Chain A
Amino acid sequence: MAPMTRPPDIDPALVRAAQHGDQIAMADLMDALAPYVGRVCGPIALHDGPDAAQEALIVIFTNLAGLREPAAIYGWARAIAVREAVRVARKAARAVPAELADVPAPGDPQLAADVRDVLARLTPEHRAVLVLRDLEGLDEQATGALLAVPAATVRSRLFRARRSFRKAWSR
Protein backbone atom coordinates (compact mmCIF):
# COMPACT_ATOMS: atom_id res chain seq x y z
CA MET A 1 0.00 0.00 0.00
CA ALA A 2 1.50 3.29 -1.06
CA PRO A 3 1.44 5.95 1.65
CA MET A 4 -0.89 8.93 1.37
CA THR A 5 0.15 11.53 -1.19
CA ARG A 6 2.46 13.95 0.55
CA PRO A 7 0.60 17.15 1.46
CA PRO A 8 1.91 20.42 0.01
CA ASP A 9 4.77 22.09 1.86
CA ILE A 10 3.80 24.91 4.21
CA ASP A 11 5.93 28.06 4.24
CA PRO A 12 7.54 28.34 7.72
CA ALA A 13 6.93 32.12 7.52
CA LEU A 14 3.19 31.45 7.28
CA VAL A 15 3.32 29.29 10.42
CA ARG A 16 5.31 31.97 12.27
CA ALA A 17 2.83 34.68 11.28
CA ALA A 18 -0.09 32.52 12.43
CA GLN A 19 1.72 31.85 15.71
CA HIS A 20 1.83 35.61 16.26
CA GLY A 21 -1.94 35.94 15.83
CA ASP A 22 -2.03 37.17 12.21
CA GLN A 23 -5.64 36.29 11.36
CA ILE A 24 -5.11 36.14 7.60
CA ALA A 25 -2.13 33.80 8.12
CA MET A 26 -4.24 31.65 10.45
CA ALA A 27 -6.94 31.38 7.78
CA ASP A 28 -4.34 30.52 5.11
CA LEU A 29 -2.79 27.92 7.40
CA MET A 30 -6.24 26.42 7.98
CA ASP A 31 -6.74 26.18 4.19
CA ALA A 32 -3.51 24.16 4.07
CA LEU A 33 -4.13 21.97 7.12
CA ALA A 34 -7.90 21.29 6.97
CA PRO A 35 -7.77 18.86 3.98
CA TYR A 36 -4.93 16.91 5.61
CA VAL A 37 -6.64 16.76 9.01
CA GLY A 38 -9.86 15.71 7.23
CA ARG A 39 -8.05 12.83 5.51
CA VAL A 40 -6.66 11.61 8.85
CA CYS A 41 -9.92 12.03 10.83
CA GLY A 42 -12.31 10.71 8.14
CA PRO A 43 -11.40 6.99 8.24
CA ILE A 44 -11.09 6.95 12.05
CA ALA A 45 -14.16 8.94 13.09
CA LEU A 46 -16.32 8.05 10.02
CA HIS A 47 -19.72 9.82 10.40
CA ASP A 48 -18.25 11.97 13.15
CA GLY A 49 -15.31 12.94 10.93
CA PRO A 50 -16.30 16.64 10.60
CA ASP A 51 -16.68 16.92 14.41
CA ALA A 52 -13.33 15.20 14.90
CA ALA A 53 -11.58 17.39 12.32
CA GLN A 54 -13.05 20.53 13.90
CA GLU A 55 -11.94 19.46 17.39
CA ALA A 56 -8.48 18.55 16.09
CA LEU A 57 -8.06 21.92 14.38
CA ILE A 58 -9.18 23.74 17.54
CA VAL A 59 -6.46 21.91 19.50
CA ILE A 60 -3.94 22.61 16.73
CA PHE A 61 -4.69 26.34 16.49
CA THR A 62 -5.05 27.02 20.21
CA ASN A 63 -1.67 25.35 20.81
CA LEU A 64 0.07 26.68 17.71
CA ALA A 65 2.29 29.03 19.70
CA GLY A 66 3.89 25.99 21.36
CA LEU A 67 5.08 24.49 18.06
CA ARG A 68 8.80 25.22 18.00
CA GLU A 69 9.69 23.87 14.58
CA PRO A 70 7.34 24.97 11.78
CA ALA A 71 8.75 22.26 9.48
CA ALA A 72 7.31 19.64 11.87
CA ILE A 73 3.76 20.95 11.55
CA TYR A 74 2.27 18.00 9.62
CA GLY A 75 3.64 15.38 12.03
CA TRP A 76 2.46 17.46 14.98
CA ALA A 77 -0.98 18.01 13.43
CA ARG A 78 -1.26 14.31 12.53
CA ALA A 79 -0.67 13.21 16.15
CA ILE A 80 -3.37 15.63 17.36
CA ALA A 81 -5.79 14.62 14.59
CA VAL A 82 -5.45 10.89 15.33
CA ARG A 83 -5.94 11.40 19.07
CA GLU A 84 -8.98 13.65 18.60
CA ALA A 85 -10.51 11.32 16.01
CA VAL A 86 -10.20 8.30 18.32
CA ARG A 87 -11.61 10.33 21.23
CA VAL A 88 -14.60 11.65 19.24
CA ALA A 89 -15.31 8.23 17.70
CA ARG A 90 -15.17 6.51 21.10
CA LYS A 91 -17.53 9.08 22.59
CA ALA A 92 -19.96 8.68 19.67
CA ALA A 93 -19.81 4.86 19.96
CA ARG A 94 -20.80 5.08 23.63
CA ALA A 95 -23.73 7.33 22.78
CA VAL A 96 -25.20 4.87 20.23
CA PRO A 97 -26.87 1.67 21.52
CA ALA A 98 -25.18 -1.47 20.17
CA GLU A 99 -28.27 -2.71 18.32
CA LEU A 100 -28.45 0.54 16.39
CA ALA A 101 -24.79 0.45 15.40
CA ASP A 102 -24.10 0.50 11.69
CA VAL A 103 -24.06 -3.07 10.47
CA PRO A 104 -23.40 -3.47 6.76
CA ALA A 105 -26.09 -5.34 4.85
CA PRO A 106 -24.86 -8.90 4.14
CA GLY A 107 -24.98 -10.60 0.77
CA ASP A 108 -23.88 -7.87 -1.56
CA PRO A 109 -20.14 -8.28 -2.20
CA GLN A 110 -19.94 -4.83 -3.76
CA LEU A 111 -21.50 -3.29 -0.67
CA ALA A 112 -19.50 -5.41 1.74
CA ALA A 113 -16.30 -4.31 0.08
CA ASP A 114 -17.14 -0.69 0.61
CA VAL A 115 -14.32 0.80 2.63
CA ARG A 116 -16.66 2.66 4.94
CA ASP A 117 -18.58 -0.51 5.81
CA VAL A 118 -15.45 -2.43 6.63
CA LEU A 119 -14.04 0.44 8.66
CA ALA A 120 -17.30 0.65 10.62
CA ARG A 121 -16.75 -2.90 11.89
CA LEU A 122 -13.45 -1.96 13.47
CA THR A 123 -12.87 -0.06 16.71
CA PRO A 124 -11.54 3.53 16.45
CA GLU A 125 -8.18 2.26 17.76
CA HIS A 126 -7.93 -0.31 14.94
CA ARG A 127 -8.88 2.32 12.39
CA ALA A 128 -6.20 4.63 13.79
CA VAL A 129 -3.56 1.92 13.24
CA LEU A 130 -4.75 1.39 9.67
CA VAL A 131 -4.58 5.12 8.92
CA LEU A 132 -1.11 5.54 10.39
CA ARG A 133 0.40 2.39 8.87
CA ASP A 134 -1.37 2.12 5.50
CA LEU A 135 -2.33 5.70 4.66
CA GLU A 136 0.43 7.65 6.38
CA GLY A 137 3.14 5.02 5.91
CA LEU A 138 4.47 5.16 9.50
CA ASP A 139 6.37 2.11 10.84
CA GLU A 140 5.21 0.05 13.82
CA GLN A 141 7.46 1.89 16.26
CA ALA A 142 6.28 5.36 15.22
CA THR A 143 2.63 4.26 15.15
CA GLY A 144 2.95 2.72 18.62
CA ALA A 145 4.65 5.84 19.98
CA LEU A 146 1.91 8.08 18.59
CA LEU A 147 -0.89 5.91 19.99
CA ALA A 148 0.97 5.17 23.25
CA VAL A 149 0.79 1.38 22.73
CA PRO A 150 3.58 -1.22 22.24
CA ALA A 151 4.65 -2.14 18.70
CA ALA A 152 3.22 -5.65 19.25
CA THR A 153 -0.22 -4.14 19.83
CA VAL A 154 0.13 -2.15 16.61
CA ARG A 155 1.00 -5.40 14.80
CA SER A 156 -2.00 -7.32 16.18
CA ARG A 157 -4.44 -4.44 15.52
CA LEU A 158 -3.15 -4.10 11.97
CA PHE A 159 -3.45 -7.86 11.42
CA ARG A 160 -7.07 -7.80 12.56
CA ALA A 161 -7.92 -4.71 10.55
CA ARG A 162 -6.42 -6.07 7.33
CA ARG A 163 -8.13 -9.43 7.89
CA SER A 164 -11.49 -7.60 8.00
CA PHE A 165 -10.79 -6.15 4.57
CA ARG A 166 -9.72 -9.54 3.20
CA LYS A 167 -12.90 -11.17 4.55
CA ALA A 168 -15.08 -8.49 3.04
CA TRP A 169 -13.45 -8.85 -0.34
CA SER A 170 -13.34 -12.62 -0.49
CA ARG A 171 -17.13 -13.02 -0.11
Chain B
Amino acid sequence: MVPVNQDWPVADLDPVRRMRVLAAATPGAAYAEKLIPAPFSAVWETASDLEHELPRMITDLRSFEITSTRGERLTARARGRLGQHARFDVVLRPGWCVMQSRFLIGGMAAAPDGAGTRFAFLGGLRLPGIRLLDPALRPAAQSLALRPIRRLERRLQAR
Protein backbone atom coordinates (compact mmCIF):
# COMPACT_ATOMS: atom_id res chain seq x y z
CA MET B 1 0.00 0.00 0.00
CA VAL B 2 1.16 3.47 -0.83
CA PRO B 3 0.43 6.47 1.41
CA VAL B 4 -2.44 8.85 0.84
CA ASN B 5 -2.29 11.36 -1.97
CA GLN B 6 -1.55 14.48 0.03
CA ASP B 7 1.76 13.03 1.29
CA TRP B 8 3.25 12.84 -2.19
CA PRO B 9 5.73 15.51 -3.20
CA VAL B 10 4.31 18.14 -5.53
CA ALA B 11 6.48 20.24 -7.85
CA ASP B 12 5.61 23.91 -7.50
CA LEU B 13 6.14 26.22 -10.45
CA ASP B 14 6.82 29.81 -9.38
CA PRO B 15 5.75 32.76 -11.60
CA VAL B 16 9.21 33.17 -13.18
CA ARG B 17 9.28 29.52 -14.23
CA ARG B 18 5.78 29.96 -15.69
CA MET B 19 6.94 33.01 -17.62
CA ARG B 20 9.85 30.96 -19.04
CA VAL B 21 7.25 28.54 -20.38
CA LEU B 22 5.23 31.36 -21.99
CA ALA B 23 8.43 32.81 -23.48
CA ALA B 24 9.50 29.45 -24.93
CA ALA B 25 6.06 29.03 -26.49
CA THR B 26 5.85 32.57 -27.92
CA PRO B 27 7.55 32.89 -31.32
CA GLY B 28 9.72 35.97 -31.71
CA ALA B 29 9.42 36.87 -28.03
CA ALA B 30 11.95 39.08 -26.30
CA TYR B 31 12.62 37.53 -22.92
CA ALA B 32 15.11 38.20 -20.15
CA GLU B 33 15.55 37.54 -16.44
CA LYS B 34 17.67 39.26 -13.83
CA LEU B 35 18.28 38.89 -10.13
CA ILE B 36 17.37 42.20 -8.51
CA PRO B 37 18.95 42.80 -5.06
CA ALA B 38 15.72 43.96 -3.42
CA PRO B 39 12.96 42.10 -1.59
CA PHE B 40 10.03 40.73 -3.58
CA SER B 41 7.49 43.05 -1.92
CA ALA B 42 9.42 46.18 -2.93
CA VAL B 43 10.04 44.95 -6.47
CA TRP B 44 6.46 43.92 -7.09
CA GLU B 45 4.96 47.01 -5.45
CA THR B 46 6.81 49.09 -8.02
CA ALA B 47 6.47 46.82 -11.06
CA SER B 48 2.75 46.24 -10.57
CA ASP B 49 1.99 49.98 -10.53
CA LEU B 50 1.39 49.70 -14.26
CA GLU B 51 0.03 53.22 -14.87
CA HIS B 52 3.12 54.91 -13.39
CA GLU B 53 5.90 52.40 -13.90
CA LEU B 54 5.24 50.76 -17.26
CA PRO B 55 5.91 53.99 -19.24
CA ARG B 56 9.20 54.33 -17.28
CA MET B 57 10.22 50.76 -18.08
CA ILE B 58 9.15 50.88 -21.74
CA THR B 59 10.32 54.18 -23.16
CA ASP B 60 8.21 53.85 -26.35
CA LEU B 61 5.14 54.05 -24.14
CA ARG B 62 3.77 57.50 -23.33
CA SER B 63 0.94 56.37 -21.06
CA PHE B 64 -0.78 53.25 -19.81
CA GLU B 65 -4.21 53.93 -18.35
CA ILE B 66 -6.23 51.26 -16.55
CA THR B 67 -9.79 51.53 -17.87
CA SER B 68 -11.48 48.71 -15.94
CA THR B 69 -10.69 46.28 -13.12
CA ARG B 70 -12.49 43.03 -12.32
CA GLY B 71 -10.46 41.00 -9.82
CA GLU B 72 -7.23 39.98 -11.55
CA ARG B 73 -8.60 41.04 -14.96
CA LEU B 74 -7.91 44.56 -16.15
CA THR B 75 -8.27 46.46 -19.37
CA ALA B 76 -5.97 49.33 -20.25
CA ARG B 77 -5.44 51.95 -22.93
CA ALA B 78 -1.84 52.40 -24.02
CA ARG B 79 -0.52 55.36 -25.99
CA GLY B 80 2.82 55.33 -27.74
CA ARG B 81 5.33 58.14 -28.26
CA LEU B 82 4.20 58.45 -31.88
CA GLY B 83 0.56 58.85 -30.91
CA GLN B 84 -0.45 55.26 -31.69
CA HIS B 85 -2.81 53.64 -29.17
CA ALA B 86 -3.98 50.16 -28.28
CA ARG B 87 -6.40 48.45 -25.92
CA PHE B 88 -4.81 45.83 -23.67
CA ASP B 89 -6.32 42.91 -21.76
CA VAL B 90 -4.29 42.33 -18.60
CA VAL B 91 -4.08 39.66 -15.90
CA LEU B 92 -2.38 41.01 -12.76
CA ARG B 93 -1.70 39.26 -9.47
CA PRO B 94 1.26 39.13 -7.04
CA GLY B 95 4.37 38.11 -9.01
CA TRP B 96 2.52 37.75 -12.29
CA CYS B 97 1.34 40.03 -15.09
CA VAL B 98 0.47 39.14 -18.67
CA MET B 99 -1.06 41.47 -21.22
CA GLN B 100 -1.95 41.54 -24.87
CA SER B 101 -3.37 43.86 -27.46
CA ARG B 102 -4.25 43.04 -31.04
CA PHE B 103 -0.60 43.21 -32.10
CA LEU B 104 1.47 43.14 -28.90
CA ILE B 105 2.04 40.78 -25.99
CA GLY B 106 3.84 41.44 -22.74
CA GLY B 107 4.52 39.93 -19.36
CA MET B 108 6.35 40.38 -16.09
CA ALA B 109 6.99 37.85 -13.35
CA ALA B 110 8.80 37.94 -10.04
CA ALA B 111 9.74 35.37 -7.41
CA PRO B 112 11.83 35.61 -4.23
CA ASP B 113 15.37 34.32 -4.78
CA GLY B 114 17.55 34.33 -1.67
CA ALA B 115 17.52 37.86 -0.27
CA GLY B 116 16.66 39.27 -3.69
CA THR B 117 14.05 38.84 -6.39
CA ARG B 118 14.27 37.08 -9.73
CA PHE B 119 12.46 39.28 -12.24
CA ALA B 120 11.40 38.28 -15.75
CA PHE B 121 10.24 40.44 -18.65
CA LEU B 122 8.56 39.28 -21.85
CA GLY B 123 7.61 41.30 -24.89
CA GLY B 124 6.66 40.44 -28.42
CA LEU B 125 4.56 40.95 -31.51
CA ARG B 126 1.45 39.02 -32.52
CA LEU B 127 1.99 38.80 -36.24
CA PRO B 128 1.32 36.05 -38.75
CA GLY B 129 4.58 34.43 -39.81
CA ILE B 130 6.52 35.60 -36.74
CA ARG B 131 7.31 31.92 -36.07
CA LEU B 132 9.52 31.87 -39.17
CA LEU B 133 11.58 34.79 -37.88
CA ASP B 134 11.95 33.36 -34.38
CA PRO B 135 15.54 31.99 -34.73
CA ALA B 136 16.73 35.32 -36.15
CA LEU B 137 14.95 37.44 -33.54
CA ARG B 138 15.79 35.58 -30.31
CA PRO B 139 19.40 36.72 -29.69
CA ALA B 140 18.72 40.43 -30.23
CA ALA B 141 15.41 40.17 -28.43
CA GLN B 142 17.04 39.09 -25.18
CA SER B 143 19.09 42.28 -24.85
CA LEU B 144 15.97 44.31 -25.68
CA ALA B 145 14.09 42.61 -22.86
CA LEU B 146 16.86 43.35 -20.36
CA ARG B 147 16.48 47.12 -20.79
CA PRO B 148 13.11 47.45 -19.01
CA ILE B 149 14.42 45.30 -16.13
CA ARG B 150 17.50 47.53 -15.77
CA ARG B 151 15.26 50.62 -15.74
CA LEU B 152 13.13 49.05 -13.01
CA GLU B 153 16.25 48.21 -11.05
CA ARG B 154 17.54 51.80 -11.29
CA ARG B 155 14.13 53.07 -10.20
CA LEU B 156 14.23 50.81 -7.14
CA GLN B 157 17.78 51.95 -6.29
CA ALA B 158 16.68 55.59 -6.48
CA ARG B 159 13.99 55.07 -3.86
A contacts, CB < 8 Å to B = 1-2, 4-5, 21-24, 26-28, 30, 34-35, 37-39, 41-43, 45-46, 49-50, 52-54, 57-58, 61-62, 64, 113, 115-116, 119, 130, 134-135, 162, 165-166
B8 and A42 contact, CB distance less than 8 A: yes
On whether A57 and B10 interact (CB within 8 A), knowing A1-B1, A24-B89, the answer reads no
Taking A34-B13, A162-B1 as given, write out 20 further A-B residue pairs in contact, using a Cβ cutoff of 8 Å, ordered by the A residue number. Answer: A1-B2, A21-B26, A22-B100, A23-B26, A23-B100, A26-B22, A30-B18, A38-B13, A43-B8, A45-B11, A49-B9, A49-B12, A53-B17, A57-B21, A58-B20, A58-B24, A61-B21, A115-B3, A115-B8, A165-B3
The distance in angstroms between the C-alpha atoms of A28 and B91, with both chains bound, is 9
Chain B CB within 10 Å — which of A46, A54, A62, A119 has the most? Answer: A54
Q: Residue B98 at the A interface, CB < 8 A?
A: yes
B128 (CB) vs chain A CBs: closest residue = A21
Q: Residue B95 at the A interface, CB < 8 A?
A: no
CB distance from A65 to the nearest CB of B (A): 10
Partner of A134, one of B2, B17, B99, B107: B2
Q: Residue B157 at the A interface, CB < 8 A?
A: no
Inter-chain residue pair count (beta carbon < 8 A) = 103
A27 and B22 contact, CB distance less than 8 A: yes
B contacts, CB < 8 Å to A = 1-3, 5, 7-14, 17-18, 20-22, 24-26, 89, 91, 96, 98-100, 105, 107, 126
B14 (CB) vs chain A CBs: closest residue = A50
B126 and A46 contact, CB distance less than 8 A: no
The distance in angstroms between the C-alpha atoms of A53 and B25, with both chains bound, is 15
Would you list the 3 A-B pairs with minimal beta carbon distance, nearest first?
A: A49-B11, A61-B25, A42-B9
On whether A23 and B105 interact (CB within 8 A), knowing A54-B21, A57-B21, A61-B24, the answer reads yes
A61 and B22 contact, CB distance less than 8 A: yes
CB distance from B119 to the nearest CB of A (A): 17
